Homo-oligomer: A and B are copies of this chain.
């Protein structure tokens, strides 16, 4: 059986994601679509709107065959490490190809860029460092370095091009037997704040959901299965998640941490602990805090990731230990279709690492990070709902009831 891998967040699952699955099937000619999906917290440093189980169900309904969880240690990271974790997880699942959406929609510019980069890496690194020292944020610094080494056929200021480049880089550098494929993203801009089409950005859909609700406008952007999951989660959990709900917990946490302790947290570097402590004193809400804390250098996304790590008490040492040599210590299976079940029963003979279906028994120590992230995610629910939903994580069966 041939498998094609997708790197996803599905926050929430929308029409663009449906198109992605269908186009990837066609392009890869695979029998099985495997999605590696972030868990409770996402790459841009925020909680997902609904939990991973409801997102898994939406993905399976829309045609994915297997959903595995990208471990927290890779999920809440800059694109480089995020991509490494995702690609190596898919490699462990035995995929033959990985298909990603990009603004450019052709694979050659990615391959060419990685080749150019490899032959000019010293110069590239020097230029990045120089611009960082001049106060640029990381994306600006890398963009300037790309220009300086003569890469101009791939716009790496486009968010999906950046991620795609990281996937291709990982595949090529580690010499993995995976074919990179890309499809063009449909008419939307990743950062669009308002819904303009039936294929809209996840950002604009979240905004609509959280400020108004499941309006006609939002409904037109979502497959039926995703709408059901959004509704079911709201009925079960009482809320859709967003950062402001976590503000009291985060603020309390920061106010009880000494600066020295803060510096042990992953991402707290270069004196950031002082800025965090100082701005916390006057923060009225999460968005107010963001306005007070962010700078040209510390982008909102980078800061949000740091704040997620504070919230989950994730130390540098834990992340270093987990991600050294891009190891993937386990595969966490969230759900599968019948086709996915066939694939796994064949594949599991070929993989050396454990495939875990819940956190109940004989947890590898590494899973403590994922456990904490889950605990934090559900912390903002009423006790009844929290206890009920958390059970799926620790004793629930995987999601596999009736997906053909």
Contacting pair B281 A376 (CB below 8 A): no
Is A312 an interface position by the 8 A CB rule? yes
Mask: chain A, 366-404; 1 = CB below 8 Å from B; 0 = not = 001000100110010001100100100000000000000
A73 to chain B, nearest CB (A): 15
A residues contacting the other copy or chain, number (CB 8 A)? 26
CA distance A368 to B259 in the complex (A): 11
Point out the residue from B249, B253, B368, B387 that lies within 8 Å of A281, measured CB to CB: B387
**In A135-193, which residues have CB < 8 Å from any B CB?**
none
Q: Give the shortest distance, in Å, between A133 (CB) and chain B (any CB).
A: 34
CB pair A384–B249 under 8 Å, yes or no, is no
This protein's copies in its complex: 2
* CB interface residues, A 263-307, toward B, < 8 Å: 281-285
Residue of A253, A283, A384 with most partner-chain B CB within 10 A: A253
Docked complex Cα distance between A283 and B255 (Å): 25
Which B residues are in CB contact (< 8 Å) with A253?
253
Minimum CB distance partner of A289 in chain B: B383
Q: Which of B255, B282, B284, B376 is in CB contact (< 8 Å) with A252?
A: B376
Additional A-B contacts beyond A249-B252, A255-B376, A281-B387 (20; CB < 8 A):
A248-B248, A248-B249, A248-B379, A249-B249, A251-B379, A252-B252, A252-B376, A252-B379, A253-B253, A255-B372, A255-B375, A255-B379, A256-B372, A256-B376, A257-B313, A258-B368, A281-B390, A284-B383, A284-B384, A284-B387
